[in-house]
Amino acid sequence: MAAITLEKLTKRFGPDTCVVDEVTLQIEDGEFLVLVGPSGCGKTTLLRMIAGLEAPSSGDVFIGDRRVTKMPPGKRDVAMVFQDYALFPQMSVRRNMGFGLTLRKTPKADVARRVDEVADVLELSPLLERKPSELSGGQRQRVAMGRAMVREPEVFLMDEPLSNLDAKLRVQMRAELASLRQRLKRTTVYVTHDQVEAMTLGDRVVVLRDGLIQQVDTPQRMFRRPANVFVAAFMGSPAMNLAEAVVLDGGVSLAGVEIPLAQGSAVRALEGRNVIVGIRPTDLRTASSNGSRSDCAVLRIMPEVIEDLGSEIHVRFAARADAVDGADLGGDDLTERARRQFTACLDPNTRVTTGTPLDLLIAPGDVHYFDPESGERI
């Protein structure tokens, strides 16, 4: 087992394109670290630099105390699981899984024993003589995992290993990965754009944007205390509701409603200025589901779209911003979309119809505040 250290790791494609920008990160021994971010933010490039498949423009990669920056992939003791599994079609499952060891001239009996052990863990034993074309997507995915595990590498690197599976299989494989992760306790870097995978698999999560780290944190802290507007809008589904609001004396005015500020809140010092207010859809509650809390602000909404998912109801409505609409939220589709329309996730028993006003409660402690210029959390 080994820790991974990245020091100012940078990748440029040409003089103007910096896709990974001075990333410095310590991945602990045995940690499962998830890299997330929108398409093109540099996740795969970062992973490929750790694997040795891409040469950094500058900076360093250490595995344990070895500086591996210039070392070829085969010498790094990492195993990579790709999105497309990259199995050899002409080889049986057994030969695919044992390939890495055979290459290293491991005695045949040892290869067979190790493949049998791993096949047992992954429930692949009955399939060992089949070819990849005779397997389902989920089984192929397990063979790809098995091939990585057979080698007992110090480090696992996984690039969206579940992305080619259909929704149901994906959920099943995610659960299998989670249990495997508990048992193996190997240092793993896992790339995904699926935040459910990030939330459920990661010991810690790294959110990347344009090659820059936005936040490194446990999934829970990332969700509860996003460091900036970008992370706030990216983590969580449906996305956090974001809107500009004006700070008043002891409160913040949002869509004509005053949300009280907690004692000691740093926002109190910003009276007369604009802030960005963030409220998770699950933190907008109806009066009945929230008991009789008196400290809540009441937001009267006009439901525009109602989606009944069975387990919860999503209600969309327009939230008129009170502030001058001048804040730069980063210009992403994500944040732009999020601030035009609000969503509330309500209890499935809520009586709600389009065009009939509904009162929603906002508890002051559930509200996030961000600086409209920098986007940073206040």
Residue 133 makes contact with ligand ATP by CB under 6 A: no
Distance (Å, rounded) from C-alpha 312 to C-alpha 182? 31
Q: What percent helix, strand, coil does the chain show, rounded to 5?
A: 30, 30, 40
Residue 39 makes contact with ligand ATP by CB under 6 A: yes
Residue 161 makes contact with ligand ATP by CB under 6 A: no
Cβ-proximal residues to 135 (8 Å cutoff; 6+ apart), any chain:
93, 127, 143
Contacts with ligand ATP by CB under 6 A: the residue count is: 12
Judged by beta carbon, residue 17 or residue 179, the one nearer ligand ATP is 17
Stretch that binds ligand ATP, among 41-49, 252-260, 266-274, 328-336 (CB under 6 A): 41-49
Residue of 13, 88, 104, 171 that binds ligand ATP (CB under 6 A): 13
Select from 128, 73, 78 the least CA-distant residue to 98: 128
Judged by beta carbon, residue 18 or residue 112, the one nearer ligand ATP is 18
CB of 23 to ligand ATP, least distance (A): 12
* Binding letters toward ligand ATP, positions 82-121, x by CB under 6 A: ----------------------------------------
* Binding letters toward ligand ATP, positions 182-211, x by CB under 6 A: -----------x------------------
Residue 227 makes contact with ligand ATP by CB under 6 A: no
Distance (Å, rounded) from C-alpha 214 to C-alpha 6? 16
Stretch that binds ligand ATP, among 32-40, 63-71, 218-226, 298-306 (CB under 6 A): 32-40
Judged by beta carbon, residue 216 or residue 257, the one nearer ligand ATP is 216
Neighbours of 205 (CB within 10 A): 28
Strand order in the sheet with 4-12: 18-27, 4-12, 58-63, 66-67
Q: Dig out the tokens for 162 from the structure.
A: 């579940």
CB of 161 to ligand ATP, least distance (A): 13
Judged by beta carbon, residue 1 or residue 18, the one nearer ligand ATP is 18
Residue 44 makes contact with ligand ATP by CB under 6 A: yes
Distance (Å, rounded) from C-alpha 351 to C-alpha 202? 37
Residue 55 makes contact with ligand ATP by CB under 6 A: no
Residue 294 makes contact with ligand ATP by CB under 6 A: no
Residue of 8, 26, 40, 225 that binds ligand ATP (CB under 6 A): 40
Q: Bridge-partner residues for 66, per DSSP?
A: 63
Residue 41 makes contact with ligand ATP by CB under 6 A: yes
Judged by beta carbon, residue 93 or residue 189, the one nearer ligand ATP is 189
Residue of 6, 31, 45, 78 that binds ligand ATP (CB under 6 A): 45
Stretch that binds ligand ATP, among 26-34, 40-48, 95-103, 135-143 (CB under 6 A): 40-48
- Strands 32-36, 187-191: pairing is parallel
Distance (Å, rounded) from C-alpha 199 to C-alpha 67? 31
Residue 122 makes contact with ligand ATP by CB under 6 A: no
Distance (Å, rounded) from C-alpha 85 to C-alpha 137? 10
Query: CB–CB of 111/102 below 8 Å?
Result: yes
Q: Dig out the tokens for 311 from the structure.
A: 């387990």
Select from 275, 235, 285 the least CA-distant residue to 251: 275
**Both ends of the chain: CA-CA distance in Å?**
39
Distance (Å, rounded) from C-alpha 137 to C-alpha 312? 31
Judged by beta carbon, residue 10 or residue 92, the one nearer ligand ATP is 10
Q: Bridge-partner residues for 298, per DSSP?
A: 361
Query: CB–CB of 195/235 below 8 Å?
Result: yes
Residue 221 makes contact with ligand ATP by CB under 6 A: no
Judged by beta carbon, residue 42 or residue 226, the one nearer ligand ATP is 42
Scan for tokens 């994906």, then name that residue: 170
Residue of 34, 42, 149, 345 that binds ligand ATP (CB under 6 A): 42
Scan for tokens 């926002």, then name that residue: 267
- Contacts to ligand ATP by CB under 6 A: 13, 17, 19, 37, 39-45, 193
